[in-house]
Structure 1
Amino acid sequence: MRFVLAIVSFVVGLLLVGLAVGQRTVFAPPSSLVAQSTAKSSAPVTVIPGTTLNANPGYQEINVRGSGDVFAAYGTTSDVQAWIGDAEHTTLRFDAQDGSLTGRTTGTDTSVPDPKGSDLWYQEYDGAGQFTVRLPQDVSVVIVGDGEDAAPSDVSVTWPRDTATPSVGPLLVAGGLFLLGGIALLVWAVLHQRRGRGPRRRSGGTRPPRVRASRRAAAAGAQVPSRGRRGRRAFVAVPVLLVGALTLAGCSSEYWPQGGAASPTPTATATGAADQAEPVAATKQQITRIVQRVASVAKRADAARDATLAAQRFTGAALELRKANYTIRAKDSDVDAPPAISADEVCVALPQQTDTWPRTIFAITAADCSAKTAAPQALTLTQETARDPYKVAYDVSLEADAQIPTLAPTSIGAALLAANTKLLTIAPDQVATAYADILSKDTASEYADLFAVQDDALRKTIGKAYKDKKAKALPDTAKIEYSSEIPDDGAVAFATDKAGALVSADLDEVEKVTPTASGAEVNTEGAVKALSGVDSSKKGISATYGVQVLFYVPPVGSDEKAVLLGFTQGLTAASEVQ
C-alpha cells in the first residue's frame, strides 16, 4: 500500500510540474498583438490617432511600408489635425473583434505640402521602416507619401501581450511537494519492507550459509556492479530536478499571482511632451530644434547674402535688418555680417500658452549659458499657420548685465498679453513710442519716469546726446533732422511670474540730412553710400535705422521702472530725399 501511495504521489507531482511547464511552452499566450491595416484609400495622408495607439496597453511598434516616398511623424493630435486642415485623410481605428485597423476617409483637398522639417513634430521618420514609441492619448501619428499620391497603406501596429502565467509557480510548488511526498513514502515503504525481512530462528538443525553467485564471482576476482546504484542515481535525480524547477519558479514574478490591487499603468508620454493644465505652443525639445534650424538658415544666408533664404526663417524687423546688411556687404566688404545665432545652448525656452495660431515662442541662446564671453541673443519667433515654420521677428543682443525676470517653466509656458493691456505700467504697444521719445528728448520726455536710466547703453549710442553731437559736427551748409516711425502691431509681450512682462518691440530712427545753402551738396559714405547708391545729393539723404528692443515692463502699481534688457540696431534703408 505504501508503494502504491508513493507511485500515486509521484504521478500527481509529475502531472502538476508538466502542466506548469506546458503553460510556459505549449499553452503559452502570444507575446504580442499585431493589427494590420485593411484600409484602401487614395487619400494622401493617413492618421493613427492616440486613441487607436492606446487601444491596447504597452508600447506601440509601428511598421510602415510603401513602394514610393514614405514619411511618418508624430505630434499632438490638435497640431496634426491643424496641419492636415481640409486635406483628404484616412483615420485608422482598432477593431477589437477582428484585431485589425480599419480606416475612415474624410476631407476634400487632394494634396498636402511636404511635411518634412515641420516645427510641429515631436519626432519624424523619413523612409519605410519600423519605430517603437509609447505615446499618450493626445498624440497622433501622421503618415504621408509624396503629398499627392495615396499614402502608404501597408501599416501595422504591434502591442505587447501580457504573458504572465500566475499559476505556474503554485503548480510547480504543489508538484514539488507531491514529488517530495512520493520520495518520503518510497523511503518509508523500503524501510518497512526491510524490517519485515529480518533474520528468523529455525527449529531444525543448522545449515551451512548459502553463498550467493555474486559473492562467488567476487571471490574469483570478477567485478560485480554494486547493487542498487542505478536506483540511487534515479533517486538523486528527482530532487535535483525538483530544486531546479522550484528555483526557476522563484525567479520571475510572472509565475506567481500578484496580491492586492493591480498597480496602475503609468501614463505614457511622448518625447518632449509634458503634463500641463494649458497647452503650449512648443516643448523644450521642439524649441531647441527650431533654434538649430534658424541658426543653420542664418549661417547659410549670411554667408551667401541670400535674402530669399533668410526669409525662410526671418520676418519683420529682423528680416529687414538682414536684407539691408546683405545689400551693403555686396558693395562694401568691410561691413560686418549680422551676429551669428548660436544654437549651442538654449538658456531660456518660453512658449506661448495656446493651441491655436498664430503662435509665439521666446528663447535666449548662447554658446555657453554660464559664460560671459559673448552676448546671449533673445529671439522672439512667430508661426502664422500650422504649415508655416517659426520665423524670427526680433533678434536682440542682450546687455552684459541684463537680469532676466523669473519666467514660467517651458512645460507650463506663458500667456501672451494684449498689446493694449492695462496690467503694466505702460502698455506694450506704447513702449516703442515712449522710448523713441526718450531717445529724442532724454529726461525732458514725458515718459522719462517710466524707464530706468542706469545701464541703458542704447541711450548712449543713439540718444539725445549722440544726436546733438552729430548735429553740431555738420557744416553750416547742412542740417539734420531726426524723427521716429513706429510699426503698427509690432509689440510682443510675454507675461512673467510676478505679473510683469517681457516686451519685444521695434522702431525706426530716421535721419534726414539736407543742404541749407544754394548749390551745397550732401555727401554720403560707408553703409549709407552703399545702400543708397548715391555719392552726393543736392536734395539731401535720408537714412533709416531699425532698432529692435527688449524691455522688462513691471506690473501696474509697481514702483519699478521699465528696464532695457537688450537691443539690436542697424541701417535698414537709405535714399535721396525726394
Structure 2
Amino acid sequence: MAFVLAAGMIVLGIAQRTVFLEPASTSLSATIADEARYAVIESSALTAFDGSQTVTVTGADTVFLAYGRSSDVKAWLGDSPYADIRQARNAPRLSSKIVEAPAAEAADAASSETAAPVAETITNPAGSDMWLQEFTAKKTLTTTVHVPEGISLIVASDGTAPAPTTVTLSWPVDNSTPWAGPLIAGGGIVALLGLVMYLLALLHLRRSHGPRRNLPRGPRMPRLPRVPRPKAIKASEITGSRRSVTRSMVRVVPVVLVSGLLLSGCSADFWPSAPSAPKASVTATPGATDLPAAEDVPPPAVSVPQLERIVSDISRLSTDADAKLDAEAIATRFTGPALAERLANYKVRAVDPALKAVPALPAAPLTLKLPQQSSNWPRVVLTVIQDKAAPTVAPLALVLRQESPRADYLVEYAMQLEPAAKVPDVAPASIGAPIIAPDSKLLALPPGEVAAAYADILMQGEASPSFGLFEAEGDTFRTQVATLRADRIGKLSKTASLEFATAVGKGSTVALATNDSGSIVAVSLTETETAKILDGGATVQTEGASKALSGVEKTAKGIQSVYGDQLLFHVPAAGSKEKIVLLGIAQGLISSSEIP
C-alpha cells in the first residue's frame, strides 16, 4: 500500500511539471496595414499584463523599434499617419487601425503658439534624440523592456518604406507548481518507509519459523506406529530465496532513485515560498521611469540616460569634426555662439595648424543635469561635464537646445567654469526646472538685461551703473579683458588708434530656475576691436588668428576683429543680498576683416 501511495504522489508531482504545466508566458499579436510607414504600440497594450514586455516585430527588411514618452512619440509623428496598436476594450487582444491627424486638431495646432513645428524632411526615426532607447535589426527584432504607463513604442522600417507587418507582445506568467516538490519528495519518503517496513516484515516472518523450545513432559502416551521421518525444512524454503528479496528491492529502489534524481533538479518553482514584502519601486528599463510624480508639473525635457546618450553622440561627432576641421558636420550638432566659435576656429587652423583649438567636448561624466520642464518646443537642457582624462581641466558647461520634435539637440553654449565657481543647488533631473521669462521681475536683474549690464561693466568698469550688481571677486574674465585692452593700447603706435565696443550677442537668453529662487542664465556678447590708421603712410600688421581669419598680412586701412563671448551667470532672487556671479566663460575670435 505504501508503494502504491508513493508512486501516486511521485506521478502526480511529475505531472504538475509536465502534463498539467501552464505556459510560461502569454502573448498578443497585431497586424499592421501595408500602407503604414509608422506604427505606435500604445501604453495600454504594453501594460495589458503585469511584468516585463517582450516585443517581436517582423515583416520588413529593416526593423526599427524605439520607446519614449507617449506625448513625445506623438509629437515626433506630428500629422504623419500611423497604425495605432492598443488593447481592445473588454477583450484580451490587440487592435490596430490607421490614425490620420484630424483636420480640427491640425487647425488648432497651426494656430497654437506652443505648437511644435515638425520637419517633414526627416522621416527616419532612427537616431532621434526623442527616444529613451532604440533598437534596429534585419528582418526580425525581438527585445525585452520593462516600461510603465505613459511610455509608448514606435515601430518603423526607415520612415519611407512600409513599417513591419506583425507585432507580437508577450509577458511572463507565473507557472510555478509549489506542490510538485513536496509531492515528489513525499513520495520518495513514503517509498523509503515502505521499503523499511517490508524488510522488517520479512525479518519478522523469518524469525517466526525458527526452532521451538522443548515443552514439559506430561503423561506418557501410548506409543504409536513409527512413521517415516520428514526431511528437514531449510530456512530458505520458509522465507523464500534471497533472489526473491533482491527482486523486491530492485522494484523499490528505482522508485527511490528516480525521486532523488527529480528532486536534485528542482528549482524554486517546485516549492512553496513565503510571500515577499512589497518592493518600494519597480525595476524598469533605464530611463523609462524618469518622470515627475506630480501630474500638474510638465515632464523634464529629457531623462538622465537620454541626456547621457545625446552628449555622448555630440562628443563623438565634435571630436571627429574638430580633428578634420569639418564645418558641415559640426553644424549638425552646434548652433548659435558655440557654432560661430568653432567655425571661426576651423578657418584659422586650416591656415595655421599651430594655432590653438577650441576646448574638446568630453563625453562623461555629467556632474550636473538640469533639463527644462516642458511639453512643448523649443526645449533646453543645461549640463556640466568633467573630463575623466583631464581632471585638472575646468569642467565644461553646455546649454543644449531642441527646436522641434524631429530636430536634434544642438549645443548653443559651451563654456568652461570659473575656477572659483560654485554652481547653486538645482532640482533633480527627474523633475527638471522651469524656464524663467527674460523680463521676469522675480530676480535681482531680469534675465534679458543681464548681458547688456555686464557689457556695460566691461566698457566702463566701476563707472558702470550695473557694477554693484555683479560680484567682482573671482571674476577672472573682466580682469582678463581689462588687462588685454590696456596691453594692446600700450603697444599701439602714434600712427594708429584702437577702439573697443561691447554689445549683446545674437545668442538667445536661457534662464533656468534654481532651488534658491534664483536662476542660471546663459547669454552672449560680442567684443569689437577696431584698429584705424591715423597717418596716411602707416600700415597695420596683423598676426595670429586675426591674420589667418582675415587673410590680410598688413593693411593701410585698418582691421576690425570681433570676439564672441559666451557667459554663464547665477542671478539671485529679487531682494537677495547676494550679487550676480559669473560661473563660466568662453571667448573666441569669430571674425576679422579689413576696414573698407
Moved more, 420-429 or 546-555: 420-429
- Cα distance change on mapping 1:225 and 1:364 into 2, 3 Å: same
Moved more, 97-106 or 280-289: 97-106
Matched, 1:429 2:439: no
Give the whole-Å Cα distance in 2 for the aligned partners of 1:215 and 1:492: 104
> C-alpha displacement at 1:81, in angstroms?
1.5
* Amino acid across the alignment from 2:324: A
Give the whole-Å Cα distance in 2 for the aligned partners of 1:195 and 1:213: 13
Size of the aligned set, in residue pairs, is 561
Residues 500-511 of structure 1 aligned to structure 2 (within 5 Å)? 500-511=518-529
Corresponding residue for 1:541? 559
- Cα distance change on mapping 1:297 and 1:172 into 2, 3 Å: closer
Give the whole-Å Cα distance in 2 for the aligned partners of 1:31 and 1:69: 29
* Amino acid across the alignment from 1:143: V
* Amino acid across the alignment from 1:426: L
Matched, 1:65 2:85: no
Corresponding residue for 1:456? 475
Secondary structure of 2:405's aligned partner:
coil
Matched, 1:440 2:440: no
Give the whole-Å Cα distance in 1 for the aligned partners of 2:257 and 2:595: 104
- Cα distance change on mapping 1:127 and 1:480 into 2, 3 Å: same
* Amino acid across the alignment from 1:154: T
Corresponding residue for 2:146? 134
CA contact (8 A) 2:572 2:578 kept: yes
What TM-score results when the alignment is normalised by the length of structure 2? 0.83
Corresponding residue for 2:591? 573
Corresponding residue for 2:126? 116
Secondary structure of 2:323's aligned partner:
helix
Secondary structure of 1:127's aligned partner:
strand
* Amino acid across the alignment from 1:358: P
Secondary structure of 1:299's aligned partner:
helix
> C-alpha displacement at 1:528, in angstroms?
2.5
**Identical amino acids, percent of aligned pairs:** 37
- 1:97-119 deviations in whole A, cap 9, x for unaligned? 88654311113699852222211
Matched, 1:318 2:338: yes
Give the whole-Å Cα distance in 1 for the aligned partners of 2:415 and 2:274: 60
Residues 31-430 of structure 1 aligned to structure 2 (within 5 Å)? 31-94=24-87, 100-107=93-100, 113-128=123-138, 129-168=141-180, 171-172=183-184, 208=229, 210-212=231-233, 225=242, 228-234=245-251, 252-255=267-270, 267-273=282-288, 274-277=290-293, 278=297, 279-368=299-388, 372-430=391-449
Give the whole-Å Cα distance in 2 for the aligned partners of 1:88 and 1:534: 56
- Cα distance change on mapping 1:516 and 1:492 into 2, 3 Å: same
- 1:274-302 deviations in whole A, cap 9, x for unaligned? 25325211222222222222222222222
Secondary structure of 1:422's aligned partner:
coil
Secondary structure of 1:90's aligned partner:
strand
> C-alpha displacement at 1:409, in angstroms?
2.9
* Amino acid across the alignment from 2:576: S
Corresponding residue for 2:109? none
- Cα distance change on mapping 1:150 and 1:557 into 2, 3 Å: same
Give the whole-Å Cα distance in 2 for the aligned partners of 1:184 and 1:442: 104
What TM-score results when the alignment is normalised by the length of structure 1? 0.85
- 1:533-554 deviations in whole A, cap 9, x for unaligned? 3455555432211111112222
Moved more, 65-74 or 182-191: 182-191
The CA RMSD over aligned residues, in Å, is: 3.6
Give the whole-Å Cα distance in 2 for the aligned partners of 1:366 and 1:453: 25
Secondary structure of 1:443's aligned partner:
helix
- 1:436-457 deviations in whole A, cap 9, x for unaligned? 1111111111111111222222
CA contact (8 A) 1:429 1:490 kept: no
Secondary structure of 2:340's aligned partner:
helix
* Amino acid across the alignment from 2:395: P
Unaligned ranges ≥5, structure 1: 1-6, 217-222
Give the whole-Å Cα distance in 1 for the aligned partners of 2:507 and 2:387: 32
Unaligned ranges ≥5, structure 2: 102-117
